[in-house]
Structure 1
């Protein structure tokens, strides 16, 4: 298969992808086997039991796939499972696409080693692209393999573990080749609804999650507000010199506003690593990928009477239409008053019973 792909760089990329993924699978052990070991660390035991309960909830309450995914565990001895490379021009937030087997064209390229990701980012930077390397704690193989629980996310707050499992399983329900915004917005919709429902049955987990979730949402709102201002700047009639000056001013403003936000958090530094590296269009542009159509999908869910199987069927029907028709339908949903309400709700921290 690799011989037929052509190009040494492409062969090398697919080889590291295949080797990296099978290394992850090789490290995975069934959760049931691990729990049967008397020597397992108590903290890991507790987390695996909770993850098993969350996995069962995904099937019984969210109608997500009942298969071998997230029923095994692997300790990769590193903080992230993959590293995604995003790239954008110096005066645009339009992300560079990579067209790959199985998933089609996506707005990033993933690597299993940080060194390989940074080498590719350096290559793009030499060609004039602004780049951002993002560590990713979980990913989905779309049901082709049984994805394991990982040390990269198992110790996060319980509701955050639930969110990630619900999100990745949603990709197994539906995935459209080459439409990142559609796929990620659908998965974010499922994760959001799933966490709300899970918290309503696990109020003991709400307190630890509310602060975690509130800070993340405030951070996302801050970056999104600057993303919109950058889009306005880049689409204006200003000269390139004026645009570059305006861009520098906006990035300085973003840093200053973050410092003020951090003060309101009592000095919480959880997002400092994001600001520790150079701010650029690739970093800002990556934010739009996951949430573009979430309000529209929320409206569609409401039209489905909040019944997830009915909603899944409606989204699957939509996914079979040409991209132009699909996007037009989503844009129509997104322009409704109900979408505005959903957008406001998405900016409000999740709470038990909501």
Structure 2
């Protein structure tokens, strides 16, 4: 997972983005109905909040809910005390929205392109999606885009960050995750409050993903718990690599001088290849791990590939920066902020050097 929604497709635990709502409200032009929808949706979310402390003290509250919220509060305190993340009321509140997702994001591309249809707003910058608090609105928007000949994808989002403009609550949709993922997402979203660079989604999400991963390692050690099972993470990275390789081949195809009809045929062949390679990998190496079957078996198009790589692209670079900072969180944040102030081209060059070990 920016003001309306991070891994949007692969891992529901990472389906989140940072809400652009404040920027939308400040822009005050164009699609007033859409802006009004966002304002009402965010207002209802804020109204649904209640202090976690009150729920924990309520003898009539659901014991399972109390257990999960108590753990979330321990992770929240750890985030500020041990990881140096913002100490505020975010994730010390709870909101039950009575729905499985907080928002639904609509991604769109041209039929023969992997360039996303972007939407730009003050403060948050440009993002490759549009978020909706109602599933029907998201589906309707996607249908209109398909009528224009675009590839579209609608993804449900369990959590997002308002970058500190509001006190973000723990949401009922977040409680579907296991304890480790719940803690990790709190670290991730607070990292967005710590540092956010407009117009650079890969930087923002990779930074937050590194904080999430390193923070979770420290959290598990602090609780005397074993490290996460490496097999699941390895399978996910292998799946991402398959999709990124397929996307790279599609980019070459779309940039080629072939006719549109030849490109359409090549596109269909590429998606068939992706499905075949996935099933071969799953059946030969994964020993029954079928968690990506639903994604691969559903219709594939360009828009569905957009989020891949955004959350992990620069994680090795931030890991190297953390090591250079002596594993000191304050020094790491200061150096990351300096990177964020560089022009985009220089920033990315520096990240490439860090990832390469220079």
Return the offset for 1:174.
1.1
2:80 counterpart of 1:59 = yes
Matched residues, number: 334
- Distance in 2 of aligned mates of 1:81 and 1:57: 25
- Distance in 1 of aligned mates of 2:231 and 2:33: 43
- Distance in 2 of aligned mates of 1:4 and 1:87: 22
1:131 match: 152
2:316 match: 295
Return the offset for 1:203.
4.8
Q: Which moved more, 1:17-26 or 1:140-149?
A: 17-26
1:306 to 305, 319, 327: 327
Structure 1: runs of 5+ lacking an equivalent: 339-354
1:196 match: 217
Alignment of 1:1-354 (within 5 A): 5-7=28-30, 10-204=31-225, 206=227, 212-263=232-283, 265=286, 267-334=288-355, 336-337=356-357
Please give the TM-score of this superposition, normalised by the length of structure 2.
Answer: 0.85
- Cα pair distance change 1:68/1:132, threshold 3 Å: same
Structure 2: runs of 5+ lacking an equivalent: 1-23
- Distance in 1 of aligned mates of 2:309 and 2:264: 21
Residue pair 1:121, 1:132 contacting (<8 A) in 2 also: yes
- Distance in 1 of aligned mates of 2:238 and 2:181: 16
Q: What SS does the aligned partner of 1:289 have?
A: coil
Residue pair 1:65, 1:173 contacting (<8 A) in 2 also: yes
Q: What SS does the aligned partner of 2:120 have?
A: strand
- Cα pair distance change 1:162/1:243, threshold 3 Å: same
Q: Which moved more, 1:317-326 or 1:107-116?
A: 317-326
- Distance in 2 of aligned mates of 1:73 and 1:142: 17
1:344 match: none
Residue pair 1:95, 1:286 contacting (<8 A) in 2 also: no
- Listed one character per residue, the Cα deviations across residues 65-117 of structure 1 (whole Å, up to 9, x for unaligned) are 11000011111121111111111122222211101233111111111111111
Residue pair 1:27, 1:75 contacting (<8 A) in 2 also: yes
Residue pair 1:163, 1:195 contacting (<8 A) in 2 also: yes
- Distance in 2 of aligned mates of 1:291 and 1:236: 28
- Cα pair distance change 1:28/1:215, threshold 3 Å: farther
- Distance in 1 of aligned mates of 2:292 and 2:261: 31
Residue pair 2:189, 2:208 contacting (<8 A) in 1 also: yes
Please give the TM-score of this superposition, normalised by the length of structure 1.
Answer: 0.86
Return the offset for 1:162.
1.5
2:7 match: none
Residue pair 2:106, 2:130 contacting (<8 A) in 1 also: yes
Residue pair 2:27, 2:122 contacting (<8 A) in 1 also: no
- Distance in 2 of aligned mates of 1:203 and 1:85: 41
